[in-house]
Amino acid sequence: MKNVLELQNVSKIYGNGDNKVYALDSVSLAVGEGEFIGIVGQSGSGKSTLMHIIGLLDNPTKGKVYVDGIDITTMDEMARAYARGKEIGFVFQAFNLIPSLTAVENVELPMIIYEKDPEERKKRAVEILTSLDMPKRLNHYPNQLSGGQKQRVAIARALANNPKIILADEPTGNLDSKTGQEALKLLSELNKQGRTIIIVTHDINIVKTAKRVIKLKDGKVVS
């Protein structure tokens, strides 16, 4: 199995001298193409820091991060941002949709940085939303959508640039239990289609669904 993500002895350290705090402490991790992984841990365990490192939102203090075999830690901020938008699709707990944009326009947004033709962008956005059972909500604004529909738009946006990895932060956190199960089922379907899914969560149902669970404690992988 090809690795789409690899962390080698990654540490994230804040402060100096006696005030050093290890948010992550020598974490090594490999994620194979097509895996469905849950990352869990109590508050302060380091899972949010790990998510920022995996999502290329932050660089480690020590260690290496490889995405699709490329060392991300050697890149400058602009190159890392470009790689982030191309290789990783984010699904946020709060959806993070732009209120003034329609569902289609929200899904188009990540494609703009890669200078795709406007017609091509719209066509892809419509195709993705339609595949996620949203054909009748294409021109609706976020305030006209239910929580589950907003999450579908957020997942569609994450798929816009056909990324290697879908990284989800508490994707059921703002949903009721039934709608949360529907969102989880949707992510499972994407995984069955070959997508690599990484979910950072407290949700026990996601832990049960994930094919591999990584538990963090005090900045270290404990299981």
For residue 171, what pLDDT is reported?
87
Taking each continuous run of H as one helix and of E as one strand, the counts in the chain are 7, 10
For residue 18, what pLDDT is reported?
80
- Give me the number of domains the chain comprises: 1
In eight-state DSSP terms, residue 223 is -
**CA 202 – CA 41 distance, rounded (Å):** 7
pLDDT average per 10 residues of sequence, the chain (223 residues): 94 88 94 95 90 93 95 92 92 92 96 86 95 95 95 95 93 85 89 94 80 93 89
For residue 11, what pLDDT is reported?
96
Provide the β-strand partners of residue 8: 64
CATH code for the domain of 124? 3.40.50.300
CA nearest neighbour of 150 among 89, 215, 103, 101: 103
For residue 1, what pLDDT is reported?
79
Domain that holds residue 97: 3-221
Cα distance between the two ends of the chain:
21
* Residues with Cβ within 8 Å of residue 79, at least 6 apart in sequence: none
For residue 172, what pLDDT is reported?
84
pTM (two decimals)? 0.92
